[in-house]
Structure 1
Amino acid sequence: MAALATAFLFPVQAFAYSNPFHLTDSWRWNNNDFYGEGDPYILKFNGTYYLYVSTVDHQSGIKVWSSPDLVNWAYRGLCATDPITKAAYAPEVFYHVDGNFYMYTSPGGGGHYVLKSDSPLGPFVPVTGNVGMGIDGSVFVDDNGQWTFYATGSNQIMAWPMNSPTSFGSAVSTGLSMNGWTEGPTVLKRNNKYFMTYTGNHVWSTAYRVDYAVSNNATHAFAPASGQNPVLLETEGHHVGLGHNSLVRGPDLDSDYMVYHSHAHEGNSVYPGRRMNLDRIVWNGDRMLVLGPTSSEQTNPELPLFADRFNRTTIGNQWINVGGGTWGIYNQELMWQDTIGNASWYRQVTANATEADYTAEFHTKQMKQDSGNTPVYGVVFSYQDESNYGTAVLNRSLNRLETDFVIGGVSQGWEYASLPSGFNYTKWHQIRVEKKDSSFSIFVDGMKKQTRNITGLAGGKIGYATSNVHADFGYVAFSNKVGGSSAWNTYKPVDGTIEAVHYMQGGEGTAYHDLSQGNTGGAYRNEHVDIRSSASEGKYVIGWNQPGEWLKYRVNVAETGYYDLSLRAATTFPNAQFRLWNGAEDLTGPVPVPSTGDWENWRLTSGKRIYLTAGHHELRLETVSGEYDLSSLTFSRADAVTSINDDFNDGNDNGWTRYEGDWSVVNGEYAGTGAGSFGKTVIGSSLWSDYSVEADIRRLTSTGDAGIVVRVNNPASGKAFVNNPDYLQGYYAHITAQGVHLGKMNYGYQALDFAAMSLPADSWHHLKVVTSGTHIKIYVNHGVSPVIDYTDTSMNPFTHGKVGLRVMNSNARFDNVKVNP
């Protein structure tokens, strides 16, 4: 009975994992230096996860690990041993409707081979020669069964439509490049849009990073997500070099995870090894948000509410037989039904039932069918009784999916969807049901084949069904989450940004207090909280927040300390205020939300410093006065600004970190050489927020520029394996002969503002930058009024970071650098 209990109902997750993962049997060089798990790819099949990674350069074979839950991994040996797998880079495995698994890998980065197996554990054997197409091949399967292959090509991502798992069409440019080496594409489809994640620059750079882009087409016209990239980046500390990700659905059937590697410094290898990492993805409309990168404890991926692997000898009382048939358990790994010869329906349904909205996942294959009648087999869902349920079955004779809904004993009509040619009904196939409100979406092997609007049928039991077929049934599960709703109750990492619409579940008085009846905006969630779609934000936001209303958010605070809290809000009210509570503790007191002038003009409030202890909390955001619409909450780890006064008269630049260019102290001045190139040097803490920084600057060359960088995050060398001047996040205030410029740097450069004036070379000029929240003022030559007064109203303003100096295509001297709170 204990075994049965663990097979069916799972408790709330109480354990935690932390990045990076430490797996057994990692790849190592012959001298035992660590190589690790680079380019991790995870396949989910029949309820089990399989991990594949790159092979160390001088050895052959491809390793595989398996896991039931994305956390506990067991090494399963080599799934391929052919000599062509020497230095097999980035192996990825995909299941075809013919019942075989196809692996794509580029040994040594010298072009791709396709390998094939009837098991995710192998053995995989080559079925093609070298088909070329760069490295880092990945496959996407569209709803119509069309396969597309993605890989690198001349510093960009290319796509190849496929005629079969081993046949590739002509290359199409996706339009995606990260201004240099670009690799590691992976694609998923959501709400009829195609999302691609991809990785930039060299694998051994600390600035290895992930961007994402969106398209209405699987092969071209991908547009990088404006204001949201990079979605994964960390260049300082012990958790750096993040990239080459894959995407995988979590055990709860609803959550998504980004799997990626980070640098691992072990042994004496010239380059670091790599370890696997896992961070949660959440969605808001067409926005993909990575809750990371994290290196502190995170709640384990949630399990489904119900699951069964049939790892026992009898069916047990958690299942209810409906209509007869002959049912049993085979080899403690599957359930079967083998009565055929008549048109009767035989159903086996769970004793447990779903809520009104849910996701259910099933696996089934056909063993034998009768020549008479209409042989079909598949699944039943929303089963309340013999007069109320839904059915989705596979028809081998007609090669199609068939669905019907019975309400009050009346069939709502059979509907059909064709399946791809070559569909092998004797092999395992997944049927997935997503129910939200009155909409039922039916997927087969990940392909959305039908969406039906059925009123009058809520949740219910799930199960398997046959008519005139002997079939086997594998892993089955359900979760009362659908369409990304698992994001609502997950503990979001702090520091980090939380979407306003991702307040926790629980209803009125528990998760929120709302004074209106119903959802005024009518969007996203069917509760009394008022949610609308914002055109300028490109996502869902909470509107009509009134005094006395509140919302609760679950957070996972990584470290005890001070955090700056900012709200991204829009309001026309002059007196709007909010307050944040942790239980009975008032963390903030009333905090003003300044008028933005329009309900679609969004601004980030200046940070309110609060003290949080490490661990899980449920924070309550209360509207105190006025009204405002809410887009998101951002928690930023904060520290007091330390004053700096460096005149370099001591002959050194202690405390500064040089990145590119030639920096030295000459005659009590800081010399930066970047003529024909670039360079930067930084100092301070990434936890600093509001400060002033000033310096005397003398450009020695008539061309180029020199200046001050503020709010510096994730600086990296733009000369390490690449040649890119923009490897930092922050703002660059700089002078040229024509005047003063303000630009924003985010692994690219965006000009923000300019003040024309004569600032000749080989003369000293005093530049001062004052930052406060999203507000930046720039003063020149000790003037009392700023020559540039700029507020960053974008979706990704930088509010914390170090300070630094920079030269671009020039040589310059700096002196009397001062930083003050």
Structure 2
Amino acid sequence: MSDQHQPSGTVPNPVVPGFHPDPSVCRVGDDYYLVCSSFEYFPGIPVFHSRDLVNWARIGNALDRPSQLRLPIDTPSSGGIYAPTLRHHDGRFWLIVTNVDDGGNMLFTATDPAGPWSDPVRLPGVPGIDPDLTWDEDGTCWCTVAGVSQVRIDPTTGETLGEQRRIWSGAPGAKAPEAPHLYRIGEYWYLMIAEGGTERGHAVSIARGDSPSGPFAPCPDNPVLTHRGIDSPIQNTGHADLVQAPDGSWWMVLLAVRPRGGTPGWSVLGRETFLAPVEWVDGWPVVGRVTPELPTPVWPLHPAPAVPARDDFDQADLHPQWISVRRRPEHLCTTKERSGWLTLRAAGASLDENDAVFVGRRQQHLACRARTLIDPAAGRGGLAVRLDEEHHYEIEAADGEVRVFAQIGALRSEVAARPVPVGTVVLGVEITPAPPRGARSGPDVLSFGIEEPDGTFTALAAVDGRYLSTEVAGGFTGRVIGMYAAAGTVHFDRFDYEPLRLP
């Protein structure tokens, strides 16, 4: 669902909104599959399906078992799972990724991208991040990592075959050559990378050669995509992957952000997945503009099933949209203890702690609201908007009182408090654009409050959204809205998420 009406003949961009960075895509027949980074969250690596590159449905998470995804309790925010690459070869799906806090690069396979995926094949001989996977005509498997270096591997055992060697470093002097993807297109092998860092200087460059191991000659028009220095509502464009549609057209998925407010602009949703058309001119890709609306593709659209706006926790297993921080043991998080309720048991005493018990979903709209009905009779917990341990806002219920807190760096403040009748209470947050204040305008305002018995919303506190942004907090993630337990046991009867229309 988009934030506002789109002009006739266009479709909204980003195609996967909210914190969905580092996209990788592959096509099998008429079906497209896409994965993204997940960092410190469990389950890891969301998997999407589409028939048209525009409408994407979440079909699962590739890493949904502790045997696949170990995130030690000291895994820092923005650690964990970096930059997967998804490919289809020899009748199987292959997923290669870096867990920067548990052994580095590893491979997973599946016959169905919805899962189950295998346990990992580890690659101890392949240092580096952002691994890519491709096969040449004789079946040799090449693994390329940020830097940019490359080594042949046996993908079934993880064994390296030969020495790892540097093959290209992008533009002279450009920082952070990363996110390599290697393709055989026509008569050449193309090596596409991101460079310039994942901030405002982000860019995509490409080179080509006669062999998968190079040597590679750079495109004379590099970078083939960047928004640095461009007056656009979309910034930080980079970390891209290419895919060819059945009609022969080419497309690029990429990450970018939508900063809001004054200077320097704050991207609160994190890095999102965008789509851009690609034409080939003289053997090089020419990337079309990355805009908030794309011209409607010539092929039929296949709208994806909508994610339910309300979850009543009536199912034995949580919907794949729900994510937790580092782990989700069933004894701390379950829908099976109290029918129709989500039960959370506290471990850490607050969201500042690495073992906090939290279940949330990505904020995917620039304006939205969320509600949850909580029963805190046996504990303390509430509704939070989280960026990391040092940057989160929450409204918390316990002992006949509701309180609003703001954690900004090392500073924690109680912003508001109000007594409420003992028992269940509906907690809520509404996120709306900030009022204009010139260059100092923030991106948005988060209003926390309670729902009265007659259904009206009473805001208790309004807090500035800039402090829950990448530009303030740092790191690689975006906002996640969800429920948490800070003491004892708390139960949640429902969770509602609704986008709001932007003015």
**Aligned residue in 2 for 1:289:** 286
**Aligned residue in 2 for 1:273:** 270
Cα distance per residue 1:485-512 (max 9 Å; x no partner): xxxxxxxxxxxxxxxxxxxxxxxxxxxx
* Equivalent-residue separation in structure 1 for 2:135 and 2:44 (angstroms): 27
**Aligned residue in 2 for 1:159:** 150
Contact 1:140 1:148 in 2 (8 A): yes
Within-5 A mapping of 1:643-658: none
1:67 aligns with 2:50: yes
Contact 2:60 2:115 in 1 (8 A): no
Once the 2 structures are TM-superposed, how far is the Cα of residue 49 of structure 1 from its aligned partner? Answer: 0.8
1:49 to 10, 32, 37: 32
| Pair 1:145–1:232, CA change in 2 (3 A) | farther
1:177 aligns with 2:177: no
1:107 corresponds to which letter in structure 2?
N
Within-5 A mapping of 1:134-145: 134-145=128-139
* Equivalent-residue separation in structure 1 for 2:166 and 2:14 (angstroms): 34
* Equivalent-residue separation in structure 2 for 1:242 and 1:148 (angstroms): 26
* Equivalent-residue separation in structure 2 for 1:243 and 1:171 (angstroms): 25
Contact 1:162 1:168 in 2 (8 A): yes
**Aligned residue in 2 for 1:107:** 99
1:82 to 65, 77, 81: 65
2:203 to 174, 199, 209: 209
2:14 to 14, 17, 20: 20
**Aligned residue in 2 for 1:149:** 143
* Equivalent-residue separation in structure 2 for 1:22 and 1:118 (angstroms): 24
1:300 to 296, 299, 314: 296
* Equivalent-residue separation in structure 1 for 2:108 and 2:260 (angstroms): 32
* Equivalent-residue separation in structure 2 for 1:45 and 1:186 (angstroms): 18
Query: Which structure exhibits the higher relative contact order, with contacts defined as CA atoms closer than 8 Å and separated by 6 or more residues?
Result: 2
| Pair 1:46–1:270, CA change in 2 (3 A) | closer
**Aligned residue in 2 for 1:168:** 160
* Equivalent-residue separation in structure 2 for 1:291 and 1:66 (angstroms): 23
* Greater alpha carbon shift after TM alignment, 211-220 vs 221-230: 221-230
2:236 to 223, 235, 241: 241
| Pair 1:57–1:271, CA change in 2 (3 A) | farther
| Pair 1:213–1:233, CA change in 2 (3 A) | farther
2:148 corresponds to which letter in structure 1?
I
Once the 2 structures are TM-superposed, how far is the Cα of residue 126 of structure 1 from its aligned partner? Answer: 2.4
* Equivalent-residue separation in structure 1 for 2:295 and 2:96 (angstroms): 32
Contact 1:69 1:251 in 2 (8 A): no
| Pair 1:297–1:111, CA change in 2 (3 A) | same
1:225 aligns with 2:236: no
Once the 2 structures are TM-superposed, how far is the Cα of residue 265 of structure 1 from its aligned partner? Answer: 4.5
| Pair 1:89–1:269, CA change in 2 (3 A) | farther
| Pair 1:150–1:302, CA change in 2 (3 A) | farther
**Other structure's SS at 2:226 match:** coil
* Equivalent-residue separation in structure 1 for 2:33 and 2:113 (angstroms): 7
Within-5 A mapping of 1:599-638: none
* Equivalent-residue separation in structure 1 for 2:211 and 2:223 (angstroms): 20
Within-5 A mapping of 1:542-561: none
2:43 corresponds to which letter in structure 1?
S
**Aligned residue in 2 for 1:37:** 20
Q: Percentage identity across aligned positions?
A: 22
**Other structure's SS at 1:273 match:** coil
* Equivalent-residue separation in structure 2 for 1:82 and 1:269 (angstroms): 34
2:257 corresponds to which letter in structure 1?
H
* Equivalent-residue separation in structure 2 for 1:91 and 1:157 (angstroms): 16
Once the 2 structures are TM-superposed, how far is the Cα of residue 199 of structure 1 from its aligned partner? Answer: 0.5
| Pair 1:302–1:186, CA change in 2 (3 A) | farther
1:192 to 187, 192, 203: 187
Whose Rg is larger?
1
Once the 2 structures are TM-superposed, how far is the Cα of residue 215 of structure 1 from its aligned partner? Answer: 1.1
Contact 1:100 1:117 in 2 (8 A): yes
Contact 1:251 1:303 in 2 (8 A): no
* Greater alpha carbon shift after TM alignment, 259-268 vs 72-81: 259-268
Within-5 A mapping of 1:241-640: 241-252=236-247, 254-265=248-259, 273-292=270-289, 294-303=290-299
* Equivalent-residue separation in structure 2 for 1:238 and 1:192 (angstroms): 37
2:150 corresponds to which letter in structure 1?
A
**Other structure's SS at 1:171 match:** strand
Once the 2 structures are TM-superposed, how far is the Cα of residue 142 of structure 1 from its aligned partner? Answer: 2.0
Contact 2:37 2:82 in 1 (8 A): yes
Q: Which runs of 5+ in 1 are unaligned?
A: 1-13, 27-35, 305-653, 656-716, 722-821
Contact 1:210 1:233 in 2 (8 A): no
* Equivalent-residue separation in structure 1 for 2:89 and 2:16 (angstroms): 31
TM-score normalised according to structure 2 size: 0.50
Q: Which runs of 5+ in 2 are unaligned?
A: 1-7, 72-79, 301-437, 440-470, 476-503
Once the 2 structures are TM-superposed, how far is the Cα of residue 227 of structure 1 from its aligned partner? Answer: 3.5
| Pair 1:270–1:46, CA change in 2 (3 A) | closer
**Aligned residue in 1 for 2:443:** none
**Aligned residue in 2 for 1:118:** 111
Count how many residue pairs are aligned between Structure 1 and Structure 2. 280
1:137 corresponds to which letter in structure 2?
P
Contact 1:113 1:126 in 2 (8 A): no
Contact 2:43 2:61 in 1 (8 A): no
Cα distance per residue 1:746-775 (max 9 Å; x no partner): xxxxxxxxxxxxxxxxxxxxxxxxxxxxxx
Once the 2 structures are TM-superposed, how far is the Cα of residue 298 of structure 1 from its aligned partner? Answer: 2.4
* Equivalent-residue separation in structure 2 for 1:240 and 1:282 (angstroms): 22
* Equivalent-residue separation in structure 2 for 1:256 and 1:278 (angstroms): 11
| Pair 1:159–1:285, CA change in 2 (3 A) | same
Once the 2 structures are TM-superposed, how far is the Cα of residue 250 of structure 1 from its aligned partner? Answer: 1.8
Once the 2 structures are TM-superposed, how far is the Cα of residue 15 of structure 1 from its aligned partner? Answer: 4.2
**Other structure's SS at 1:295 match:** coil
* Equivalent-residue separation in structure 1 for 2:221 and 2:62 (angstroms): 41
* Equivalent-residue separation in structure 1 for 2:170 and 2:41 (angstroms): 30
**Aligned residue in 2 for 1:756:** none
* Equivalent-residue separation in structure 2 for 1:69 and 1:232 (angstroms): 25
**Aligned residue in 1 for 2:446:** none
1:51 corresponds to which letter in structure 2?
L
Contact 2:141 2:154 in 1 (8 A): yes
Contact 2:234 2:259 in 1 (8 A): no
| Pair 1:301–1:270, CA change in 2 (3 A) | closer
Contact 1:157 1:185 in 2 (8 A): yes
TM-score normalised according to structure 1 size: 0.32
Contact 2:188 2:210 in 1 (8 A): yes
**Other structure's SS at 1:103 match:** strand
| Pair 1:43–1:22, CA change in 2 (3 A) | closer
* Equivalent-residue separation in structure 2 for 1:228 and 1:129 (angstroms): 34
Cα distance per residue 1:625-659 (max 9 Å; x no partner): xxxxxxxxxxxxxxxxxxxxxxxxxxxxx99xxxx
* Equivalent-residue separation in structure 1 for 2:27 and 2:95 (angstroms): 14
1:240 corresponds to which letter in structure 2?
Q
| Pair 1:285–1:241, CA change in 2 (3 A) | same
Contact 1:240 1:263 in 2 (8 A): yes
Contact 2:92 2:109 in 1 (8 A): yes
Once the 2 structures are TM-superposed, how far is the Cα of residue 90 of structure 1 from its aligned partner? Answer: 1.5
